[in-house]
Structure 1
Amino acid sequence: MRIGLICPYSLTVPGGVQGQVLGLAKMLRSLGHFVRVLGPCDGPPPDTGVTPLGMSIPTTANGSVAPIAPDVPCALRTIRALRDEQFDILHLHEPLAPGPTLTSLFLAQSPMLGTFHAAGKSLAYDLLKGPVKWLRNRLDHAVAVSEDAAEMAHSALGGEYEILFNGVETDRCNSAVPWSKENSTIFFVGRHEPRKGLGVLLEAMTFLPPDTQLWVASDGPETTELKAQAAGDHRVKWLGRISEEEKLSRMKGADIFCAPSLRGESFGVVLLEGMACGTPVVASDIPGYAKVAREGEDALLVPAGDSQALANAIEKVLRNPDQAERLSAQGIKRAENFSMQRLAETYLKSYEAILAN
């Protein structure tokens, strides 16, 4: 089967949707199919199976900055790639996001499946109030990554949505080599913007023992402000952007993976990565995370924005090796339920059903 996966976000910028697209492509190839990923790239493509469609334009949406490519040159490259590749089926991620997915939704002749990732608000839905329902009907099948994402899409577009949770590459997590450390270590990775809650974690650090260190990966619009907040605290290590390999290595080497997001998470795939690495997870009790992590079973969840509660949960894990070991074991089991192989096999059945009709 010739499968085209289309991503609206720059594939050279770390992000949840981008990771899902690239991971799914890799798994589908391993199952014997021809797969190409089409999307913007702001540097060398991250994979030989990627067709770059041009540079992205950072755009504010859903409390974040989305690296999309809504320009005409990108649209023309998308049309050319669709013509040249002659895909049997197209899989659009965020079908209404301005750029290559929306272009494909308007113009592609191949059968199409769309996966809706966003929860909360969508700039695309707001801008396309008139034609969105017509565009929704262009899809042969629609999927949402969570109940929240399905509810948001249904309220704007109507129609039915199959719920298929995101997948995690469990084999990559299992094989990661733990990063060495000397002290009790917390790991955070995520864009430095308000909704990710890094400021809450930095405040929680002030309540934790002096031998506790924090690894902070990535960057963003709040980096300078957050560094100022933590000025003088040498326990906080600012790593900047790191490779996927280093991310998993540090995740596996840390004593705790912490995800203190405040809102805007449709599905907590990063929690699953922590679990698959065997690292105890402490996270905010928000809908997108609660769908993945079960409080007290395979993670500890605390009220979003409560730095004292966050610190208490972190210290509880650090001071209780038995609980840390239990969370680790339960997390590994939980992550297996969301493996990328299972997800790819499920999508393949959907592709086959669409083509059969």
Structure 2
Amino acid sequence: MRIGIVSPYSFDVPGGVNLHVKDLAEHLIDLGHEVSVLAPADDDTPLPPYVVAAGKAVPVPYNGSVSRLTFGPVTAARVSRWIERGQFDVVHVHEPITTSVSMLALFAVEGPVVATFHTSNMRSRLMISLGSFLQPSLEKLTARIAVSEDARRTVTTHLGGDAVIIPNGVFVDRFAGAQPRPEWQGTADRPTICFLGRMQEARKGLPVLLRAVPAMLKAKPGLRVLIAGPGDERQVLSGQPPEVVAACEMLGAISDEDKARLFASADIYIAPNTGGESFGIILIEAMSAGAPVLASDLGAFVRVLDGGHVGQTFRNEDPADLATEVVRLLDDPERRTTLARLGGQRAHTFDWSVVTQDILMVYETAIEAWAPPHISSRWRRGGTR
């Protein structure tokens, strides 16, 4: 099958949607499909061979974050050329409501088109303002996917229609085989907890974690807080009490290999995110690597953690409750072992080997639904035209 995948977000900056797109493309290629990905990127950005640059992106604030998008007539022309040259059996656009190349692809494509919605934002002004304007284009969608119930509810509320839920995927074995790094491992006297995310993006929750550290240190004076991710560590720690600064070990941006090793090394992985999360892919990654997970009780996180069965939760934006749960888990190694075991089992339900097959079924359904009766069944099954 010839598959075109479109991401609205720049490949110059790592992010959850692009990670999803990249992993999906690579697994489809491994299965023997021909895949081309179109996404914003500078012309000199190193890209995988299957990614086509749609042009330089500009930063745009959206959903509590800053997204790098590209739009305009030059980009539209690139999108049209990519679609024409690709002769795709199906085009898969991610976040088609976002004013970037996904929206432009939806305008231009003529054929089976599948959309995946990642965003969870029930109060989205963008969706409210653009929903009616984009309705004619959205009617071109042959099938819709939402990565979670939260994302599905956002779609049904603002855009109408429905979507099948297919979660984000993880290559579980890449994390399950990670070896701990001795310098990151904790001891009974010096346990380690870890955070990974964009440090200066408020909704990732690092300020909540830092406000909880003094109470943790009172109970566990030797506690080490490993903080990984992009951002200015001096600004992050500015104004923090000296004991908090001393407890924090700033690792900066780390490689995918070290991300897995960080999860495998820590006594607890902390996800203090405050909102705007439709899924929780990082929770799956941490569980895949064998880390006991403690996360804020966002709806998306609770669902990933199977109602709290495979991971612990604390009250969102409540540093005192976060500190209490950290200390409770550190005092209960048997509970941590149980959570690590159950989390690892749960993670396999999100492996790309499972998720990709569900997506392929949607592709097949979209092709069958779109193809006019006079077109051969071989084309409708993704064969040569």
Structure 1 pair 158–227 and aligned structure 2 pair: CA distance change class (3 A): same
What residue is the counterpart of 2:86 in the other structure? 85
Is the CA contact 1:216–1:236 (under 8 Å) kept in the aligned structure 2?
yes
What residue is the counterpart of 2:211 in the other structure? 203
CA–CA distance in structure 2, aligned partners of residues 224 and 75 of structure 1: 41
What stretches of structure 1 of length at least 5 have no aligned partner?
none
Is the CA contact 1:62–1:123 (under 8 Å) kept in the aligned structure 2?
no
Question: After the TM superposition, which of the residue ranges 316-325 and 236-245 deviates more from structure 2?
Answer: 236-245
Give the one of 354, 361, 375 matched to 1:349: 361
Confirm whether residue 66 of structure 1 aligns to residue 74 of structure 2: no
Looking at CA atoms only, which structure, 1 or 2, has the larger radius of gyration? 2
Is the CA contact 2:5–2:36 (under 8 Å) kept in the aligned structure 1?
yes
Give the one of 146, 150, 153 matched to 1:151: 153
State the TM-score, normalized to the length of structure 2: 0.87
Confirm whether residue 48 of structure 1 aligns to residue 49 of structure 2: yes
SS of the equivalent of 1:199 reads helix
Question: After the TM superposition, which of the residue ranges 301-310 and 174-183 deviates more from structure 2?
Answer: 174-183
How far residue 264 of structure 1 moved from its aligned partner, in angstroms, is 0.8
Give the one of 202, 219, 244 matched to 2:230: 219
SS of the equivalent of 1:337 reads helix
What residue is the counterpart of 1:165 in the other structure? 167
How far residue 342 of structure 1 moved from its aligned partner, in angstroms, is 0.7
How far residue 248 of structure 1 moved from its aligned partner, in angstroms, is 1.7
Structure 1 pair 123–7 and aligned structure 2 pair: CA distance change class (3 A): farther
SS of the equivalent of 1:128 reads helix
Is the CA contact 1:178–1:253 (under 8 Å) kept in the aligned structure 2?
yes
Give the one of 338, 350, 357 matched to 1:326: 338
State the TM-score, normalized to the length of structure 1: 0.94
What residue is the counterpart of 2:247 in the other structure? 235
CA–CA distance in structure 1, aligned partners of residues 267 and 41 of structure 2: 34
Name the Cα RMSD after superposition. Answer: 1.8
How far residue 226 of structure 1 moved from its aligned partner, in angstroms, is 2.3
What residue is the counterpart of 1:177 in the other structure? 179
What residue is the counterpart of 1:304 in the other structure? 316
Is the CA contact 1:9–1:67 (under 8 Å) kept in the aligned structure 2?
yes
Please list the CA deviations of residues 2-36 of structure 1 after superposition, one character each: whole Å capped at 9, or x if unmatched. 11111001123121111111111111112111112
The residue type equivalent to 1:104 in the other structure is A
What residue is the counterpart of 1:188 in the other structure? 195
Structure 1 segment 30-45 matched on structure 2, within 5 A: 30-42=30-42, 44-45=45-46
CA–CA distance in structure 1, aligned partners of residues 93 and 349 of structure 2: 24
The residue type equivalent to 1:65 in the other structure is V
CA–CA distance in structure 1, aligned partners of residues 239 and 27 of structure 2: 41
Structure 1 segment 12-23 matched on structure 2, within 5 A: 12-23=12-23
Confirm whether residue 111 of structure 1 aligns to residue 115 of structure 2: no
What residue is the counterpart of 2:139 in the other structure? 137
Confirm whether residue 102 of structure 1 aligns to residue 109 of structure 2: no
How far residue 250 of structure 1 moved from its aligned partner, in angstroms, is 1.2
Is the CA contact 1:5–1:91 (under 8 Å) kept in the aligned structure 2?
yes
Is the CA contact 2:10–2:39 (under 8 Å) kept in the aligned structure 1?
yes
Give the one of 273, 276, 280 matched to 1:264: 276
The residue type equivalent to 2:193 in the other structure is I
Q: How many residues align?
A: 356
CA–CA distance in structure 1, aligned partners of residues 21 and 263 of structure 2: 21
Question: After the TM superposition, which of the residue ranges 20-29 and 118-127 deviates more from structure 2?
Answer: 118-127
SS of the equivalent of 1:273 reads helix
How far residue 55 of structure 1 moved from its aligned partner, in angstroms, is 2.1
What stretches of structure 2 of length at least 5 have no aligned partner?
370-385
CA–CA distance in structure 2, aligned partners of residues 36 and 292 of structure 1: 30
Structure 1 pair 134–163 and aligned structure 2 pair: CA distance change class (3 A): same
Is the CA contact 1:4–1:35 (under 8 Å) kept in the aligned structure 2?
yes
How far residue 92 of structure 1 moved from its aligned partner, in angstroms, is 0.6
CA–CA distance in structure 1, aligned partners of residues 255 and 78 of structure 2: 28
What residue is the counterpart of 1:273 in the other structure? 285
Structure 1 pair 217–182 and aligned structure 2 pair: CA distance change class (3 A): closer
How far residue 193 of structure 1 moved from its aligned partner, in angstroms, is 1.5
CA–CA distance in structure 2, aligned partners of residues 248 and 73 of structure 1: 40
